[in-house]
Amino acid sequence: MTANITGQSLAPRIKTPFVDQQVETDLNQKRSAQPKNGTPLATILPVTAGELELTVLIPLLNEVESLRPLYAQLRGALEPLGKSYEIIFVDDGSTDGSHTILAELHEIDEHVRVIRFRRNFGQTAAFAAGFEHARGDVIITLDADLQNDPQDIGKLLAKMDEGYDIVSGWRVDRKDTYLTRKVPSQIANSLISKFTGVELHDYGCSLKAYRQDVVKNIKLYGEMHRFIPALASWMGVSVAEIPVNHSARQFGKSKYGLQRTLKVFLDLLTVKFLLSFGTRPIHVFGLLGMLCFAAGIAIGGYLSAIKIFYNAALGDRPLLLLAVLLTVLGVQFVTMGLLGELVVRTYHESQRKPTYMVRELLSHAMPKSAIQE
C-alpha cells in the first residue's frame, strides 16, 4: 500500500502569545470561584465513540513547562475549526508536577479530559488508553513537547475529508540532531515501509489523524504505536501523508535515543509476522518444517546410499548428526504451526473476533414472497 503524499508548502508557525495571557486569566478567575476544598479531577466514565467530531489525544511524561503553551496553541488552532472537540491528556506517570497543571486546565475548560496512570506504562499504553476513551469521529494525536504544530490539525482534517482513513504528518524540515535522531529514523522508516508495504516517510511523527473506527479495532501492545498505519493496513485502509511543521524542543529532553533502534527492528519483525501470517501460522512454520524435514531426509538418503553401496563408515560423519537434527526440527516446526493454528482459532472464536473488516454493506429487505414461504 502506497501512501498518497501531497506537496503542500509548509506554512510558518503561528504564534499565539495572547492566548497564553487569556489562559492565565481564566485560571485565576476559576481559582477565585472555586470552593475552598477544591474540585476533584473528573472521573473517567464509560464513553461512546462518535459523540464528538474531533478528539485531540496527547500522551505525555514530565512535560510541565510545555503544557500551558501547548494548551494555548491548541485552543487557538481548534476554535476556528468550528467543530465539537475534546482534548485528552494522558499522563504517563509524570513526577514533575505535570498533573497539577493538567488538573487546572481541566478546571477551566470543559473540553479538557485527563487520564492519569499510576506509573509509567509507556507511550503505547498511553495511546491505547486515549483511543479507548476518545469520543471523536476523528482522533488527532500529537506530542506534548511543542515540537508538533497544532495549526497543522486543520490540514490533516482537510486531507481526511478527501476520503482517507489515516493521514500522517511528515516532518520535512525536522529540527533534531542528524546522527542520533534523523539517520536512525530514516533507516527505520525505509525498513518499515518495505516490510509492511505502507510507504511513509515519517512513521515516527506523532502528528496523525485517524478515523475512530480504525483505531477502535486495533489493540496496541509493547511499543507498537508507531506502527499503527501498518497494523491498520489489513483492514484495507487508505493512508495519506502531508508535510507538517516541526520545531526544536524548547523544554526538557527527549525520552528516546539510539537504544530504541533495536526495539524498533524487533517490533517490525512482529508486525510483519502479524500482517502476513497472523491468521495462518502453519504457512510459515509448516514451510520451514517441510524444508528442514526434506533436507534431513535427503541427507539421510545420501548417507544410506554410500553405506549400502560403498560400505562407508558413518559414525564419524557430521552429516549424520545434521540429518537427524534437520529431521527433528522439521517435525517440531510443523507441530509449532499446528499449535499456532489452535491458538489463532481459540483467540478469534472465543472473542468472536472476525478475520475481516466490512467497509460498507448494500442490502435489500427480504422479499415478501420469501417471507410468506
Are 340 and 233 contained in the same domain?
A: no
Domain identity same for 289 and 346: yes
The answer to whether position 360 is within a domain reads no
Residues 269 and 300 in one domain: no
Q: What is the mean pLDDT of residues 52-62?
A: 95
pLDDT digit string, tens, across residues 137-146? 999 999 999 9
262-308 tens-digit pLDDT: 778 888 888 888 888 888 899 999 999 999 999 999 999 999 999 99
Same-domain status, 50 and 180:
yes
The answer to whether 4 and 241 have CB atoms below 8 angstroms apart is: yes
- CA–CA dist 201, 294 (Å, integer): 42
Whole-number Å distance between alpha carbons of 220 and 227: 9
Q: Which of 219, 247, 277 is the last residue of a domain?
A: 277
135 pLDDT more than 90: yes
Q: In which region does residue 56 sit, left (phi positive, over 0), alpha (psi from -120 to 50) or beta (all else)?
A: beta
Q: How many structural domains does the chain have?
A: 2
Res 235: pLDDT? 83
With respect to residue 373, please indicate whether it lies within any of the assigned structural domains: no
The domain in which residue 309 lies consists of: 282-350
Of 251, 277, 303, the domain-final residue: 277
The residue that leads in pLDDT, 97 or 14, is 97
Q: Which residue among 212, 244, 277 closes a domain?
A: 277
Residues 288 and 256 in one domain: no
355 falls within a domain: no
Same domain for 262 and 115, yes or no, is: yes
Whether 205 and 272 share a structural domain: yes
Same domain, 273 and 286: no
Model pTM greater than 0.85?
no
**pLDDT tens for each residue of 172-218:** 988 877 777 788 888 888 888 888 888 999 998 999 999 999 998 88
Instruction: Calculate mean pLDDT across residues 40-53.
Output: 54
Do 258 and 302 share a domain, yes or no?
Answer: no
Pair (246, 345) in one structural domain: no
pLDDT in tens, 335-366: 999 999 999 888 878 877 777 778 778 887 76
61 assigned to some structural domain: yes
Average predicted confidence (pLDDT) for the chain: 84
- The domain that holds 235 is classified in CATH as 3.90.550.10
Do 312 and 271 lie in a common domain? Answer: no
Q: What is the pLDDT of residue 118?
A: 94
Residue 193 is assigned to a structural domain of this protein:
yes
The predicted pLDDT at position 42 comes to: 38
Max mean pLDDT among 38-42, 71-75, 254-258, 313-317 falls in: 71-75
- Please provide the DSSP assignment of 231-299 as one string: HGGGGT--EEEEEE-B----SS--S--TTHHHHHHHHHHHHHHHHHHTT-THHHHHHHHHHHHHHHHHH
